[in-house]
């Protein structure tokens, strides 16, 4: 299957009862406030080209952002922060993301998350992360031939991604690389058909981090620029 075919299947997934109930409840409650647009309320697939050299891994869709628009980090303050920095780093065609069809194109970069449905309080359970893992496994396997760098936004994504990277053909060093802002690890290829992969840690673009100044635009742009250079973008 191609990545596009995988995404077509993903948007119909109903494997996590708590998340299905929540994403659909939010959509029902908020539809009236957004009468002029479709309120998505379904799993959100990854966004960006199938031959990406750089992957950005978040946490899960936000209830009123990606769960509303159906596109990763689109329609809320976290996304505004991320896409402005991606534009600054030359990875996005425009600094804003409002909804699918707004003309935004990502250059050599894809964005995904280890959990594809919006969770209550932005906190998926480890069981939900594990249930969703097969989608990330498949996505990484499909991206692997062109993938050179990964940026992980936050510790949840970091923990979720390490076993997926191992399954997709990279060697995870021991002791395990620890998450932190500015963390960087080079993962050797486990087989000759893979290139080494560069893994970067970055604080999540949540309002909790951006409003408090824990993550500034310059800090994010620095990580994006390093990862893009390493990926040859």
| Site for ligand SF4, rule CB under 6 A | 10, 13-16, 19-20, 43, 115-117, 128, 131-132, 135
In the bound state with ligand SF4, the residue whose beta carbon lies nearer, of 89 and 115, is 115
Least separation in angstroms between residue 88's CB and ligand SF4 is 31
Least separation in angstroms between residue 194's CB and ligand SF4 is 26
In the bound state with ligand SF4, the residue whose beta carbon lies nearer, of 61 and 201, is 61
In the bound state with ligand SF4, the residue whose beta carbon lies nearer, of 112 and 149, is 112
In the bound state with ligand SF4, the residue whose beta carbon lies nearer, of 20 and 167, is 20
Least separation in angstroms between residue 13's CB and ligand SF4 is 3
Least separation in angstroms between residue 118's CB and ligand SF4 is 9
In the bound state with ligand SF4, the residue whose beta carbon lies nearer, of 45 and 108, is 45
Least separation in angstroms between residue 77's CB and ligand SF4 is 23
**CA 133 vs CA 17, 106, 114, 124: distances in Å:** 16, 24, 7, 12
How far from chain centre, in Å, is Cα 29?
A: 26
C-alpha neighbours within 13 Å on the C-beta side of residue 47: 25
In the bound state with ligand SF4, the residue whose beta carbon lies nearer, of 80 and 128, is 128
CA angle centred on 225, ends 220 and 230, rounded to 5°: 130
List, as one string, the DSSP characters of the chain. --HHHHHHHHTT----HHHHHHHHHHHHHHGGGGTTS----S----BS-TT-SEEEE-S---TTTHHHHSSTT-SSHHHHHHHHHHHHTT-BSSS---STTS---BSSEEEE-S--SPPGGG---HHHHHHHHHHHHHHHHHHTTT--EEEEESHHHHHHHHHHHHHTTBPPPSSPPPP-TT-EEEEPBSSTT---EEEEEE----HHHHTTTSS-HHHHHHHHHHHHHHTT-
Least separation in angstroms between residue 23's CB and ligand SF4 is 8
Least separation in angstroms between residue 127's CB and ligand SF4 is 10
In the bound state with ligand SF4, the residue whose beta carbon lies nearer, of 96 and 131, is 131
């Amino acid at each position: 299957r191609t990545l596009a075919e995988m995404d077509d299947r993903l948007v119909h997934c109903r494997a996590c009862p708590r998340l299905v109930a929540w994403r659909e409840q939010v959509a029902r409650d908020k539809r009236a406030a957004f009468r002029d647009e479709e309120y998505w309320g379904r799993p959100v697939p990854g966004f960006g080209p199938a031959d990406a050299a750089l992957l950005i891994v978040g946490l899960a869709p936000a209830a009123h952002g990606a769960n509303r628009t159906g596109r990763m980090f689109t329609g809320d303050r976290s996304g505004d922060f991320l896409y402005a920095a991606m534009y600054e780093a030359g990875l996005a065609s425009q600094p804003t993301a409002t909804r699918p069809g707004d003309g935004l194109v990502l250059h050599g970069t894809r964005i995904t998350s280890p959990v594809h449905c919006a969770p209550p309080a932005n906190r998926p359970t480890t069981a939900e992360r594990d249930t969703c893992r097969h989608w990330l496994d498949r996505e990484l396997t499909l991206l692997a031939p062109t993938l050179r760098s990964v940026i992980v936004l936050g510790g949840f994504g970091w923990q979720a991604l390490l076993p997926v990277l191992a399954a997709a053909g990279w060697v995870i060093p021991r002791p395990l690389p620890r998450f932190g802002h500015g963390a960087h690890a080079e993962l050797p290829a486990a087989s000759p058909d893979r290139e080494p992969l560069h893994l970067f840690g970055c604080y999540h673009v949540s309002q909790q981090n951006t409003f408090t100044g824990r993550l500034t635009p310059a800090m994010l742009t620095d990580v994006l620029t390093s990862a893009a250079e390493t990926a040859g973008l």
